[in-house]
Structure 1
């Protein structure tokens, strides 16, 4: 006879418990007007499950599907006016990307000097974005992938929680879970728009399979292009988008298992301090850029937050921030981090040995 403990530790029990708790907490946070509550709730619940020893993991393709839905949702905000605005401010976006990369390198060097984290690990762990790519590149270069992954996801959690708090303090209130579709003509068929939207997500997942953040960017690019051309009215059911938010949150949260936390426990305060320091430095940078570009601070803050492209996109959509600006700058930094990651890592390692 299986004991109650063994039944509780079996995946057949853990999965329903995770889904029920994650969905309930997400709905409660959303009802309380917490920005990105449908994403933040499942992520926090999944962290608790992971640390408590739940042997669960969200399949990567489910995670990518969630990213694709978020990408298509963001594509709904793409318009010619947004593109013109981005084209006019491209030089400031490049400056912001450069500043963020430099700040992350300084924070990485600080964690080496004052936190006792090896330079090869800190160099990749403090890179502001492209978490999965940084972990892969770190392992290829001989760094400890476990610590790099923990540093990356600790920063993602800090960015999401601080971003939600800042959005709340600035008075931003979440809108509907799904972006409102364009007004349909009398003979229009919403179900057809939904099927076409899902088809764009699936095509984007395949096309972006080998592209950094391709699961989010390819549906966004395809959906945005078709919407601008007038060939598609993006329509994502509310329940499907809530599922996408939850899938992304649970995927991130379940990466925090007991073994990983125990392995890095002594260095966890340093990781959190480094993540918060980078967030504060980027916020100061955002204040200056918001003044220079004449945009609101919340949009610029989300645009310069160090990492979590999908999470920042969710918060931007729900708080009615400038989604185009947030997406453009986050995407630009994503590619900037990937292209300069190896160079920055070598410089941090070299300076840490001085």
Structure 2
């Protein structure tokens, strides 16, 4: 008992980190590209109703990944484990197309290799480098598009097109990897958001929302992410006042199927963090999906979050863990906002049978 009281007294007198003070705000674009050293490429096949989104750092970047869904489809994610050789990536690819979509990284890797970018133990002109392009896919094969592609799925071509046309401007909604996505019973899509802290650090997120779960409160058109909205970036309706039953999933998909859903995201920060620190941020960022989608991380989703650092800003060696905690918490908020922005901006391709947010009753 005396030992217990001693421990409690010691904990009570420990100096806790000071809370962050001041007010931050979204970046100029409210986009992941507000993080310096980063651009985004997107391409879609409107006939097949599918697409690809590429996150391209200016130079190889430290990256980590966290997978929470029960049915993921990924490429080169094991390479990102901190105990393995390569801790940096040359690009990250998000794609529709289920397993076919993993070929999008082939197009990205071929372009990067032609530019001389990639991992090489020894640089020689006669040996191409090996670009590191971790990837994840979502399932959009049942969205009504023409998927009769035989032995020529479009994803390698789409990956090449996307990486060749990157930009600081990021289109929202029915584009890229989100072209054929559905978020519960609503049209899903690509969303992005950012936040710059009072002390000048930037956190950004991009997401392709194709979730089993619903992004709106049952019986309303108010987003689960509404408490984190800044301004009127996804309608400005505010949080719902209604109570929700524990098993009322609202506009979740009625007939889930394995690997038929999945939300894919990439977090970016400009702080100079290592692989272990970025892993923690990826893990914390997953809570942003929990704040924006209900239910999430189900056996039928393949939810995957990448997190990369462009290392534009050097952090002090002291109190790094506190900074990681701050950035991880912000990453979750930014990702929740990005999910809602993507669904809010989504439109229906001709003939697609989902609803959009705008179709819901007020």
TM-score (norm 1): 0.25
Higher relative contact order (CA 8 A, sep 6+): 1
TM-score (norm: length of structure 2): 0.24
Q: Which has the higher helix share?
A: 1
